Structure 1
């Protein structure tokens, strides 16, 4: 089942269950996807939808951290709930060992010899890791291996 169809089906189920917080989160995701489709005049595939969801999760993590530092645990909990709902539609996360192995293969495949080749390595890694690992951590691993 396509990811967009899965989201729409879960939206219907949330409506029937009268689960307003879940329904609101799914509607936000569908809205963000539709907005990107309208802006770019394209129909998004699963890979692009995962990219949209990844961006939404990152935004919510940042917001939750800011709310917690400001002492607003109620708002941080709401953001964390939205993260759990969004992550249901994303691919399974990679383990640290799997990420390290993919980084090693990408470095070997690109023939990278130093930091100047980091862009080539990341270009190989991004499609494989998108939505399955934190790209900031992956970038740190690549820097560590290239240095």
Structure 2
């Protein structure tokens, strides 16, 4: 079953169960996918849908940090539940140790030695961990190993 089909099935189920949070999150994902397809005149595969879900996840995490700073408990709870729903559409996340192993291997493959090589290393790593690791974590680990 494709990810788009799963989203549609889950949307129907959320509507039957009257789960407004899940319904709104899935609707936002589906509309972002549709918008991308219309804008670029392509049909997205599962990897493309995962990219969009990852962007939605990043937006929620950034918003969550801001809500915590502002002390908005109502928005914190809602955003955390949205993040949990989004996680169900992403591949299993790599642990920090697994990401660090990939970073070290990639730095060795590229023979990177300084912060000047940061761009090369990041562009080589990101396709390997696409949708499976947070870019911020990857960035921090690359900086740690290049310094």
Instruction: Provide the TM-score with structure 2 as the length reference.
Output: 0.92
Matching residue of 1:58:
58
Of stretches 25-34 and 37-46 in structure 1, the one that deviates more from structure 2 is 37-46
Q: Does 1:40 align with 2:40?
A: yes
Q: Which segments of 5 or more consecutive residues in structure 1 lack a partner in the other structure?
A: none
Matching residue of 1:114:
114
Matching residue of 1:89:
89
CA distance in 2, matches of 1:100, 1:71: 33
Matching residue of 1:6:
6
CA distance in 2, matches of 1:3, 1:146: 37
Deviation (angstroms), 1:139: 1.0
- What secondary structure sits across from 1:44 in the alignment? coil
CA distance in 2, matches of 1:4, 1:58: 20
CA distance in 2, matches of 1:43, 1:93: 26
Matching residue of 1:129:
129
Instruction: Provide the TM-score with structure 1 as the length reference.
Output: 0.92
Q: For the Cα contact (< 8 Å) 1:64–1:77, is it kept in 2?
A: no
Runs of 4+ in 1 over 3 A off after TM superposition: none
Matching residue of 1:23:
23
Q: Which segments of 5 or more consecutive residues in structure 2 lack a partner in the other structure?
A: none
- What secondary structure sits across from 1:42 in the alignment? coil
Deviation (angstroms), 1:129: 1.1
The within-5 A match list for 1:65-84 is 65-84=65-84
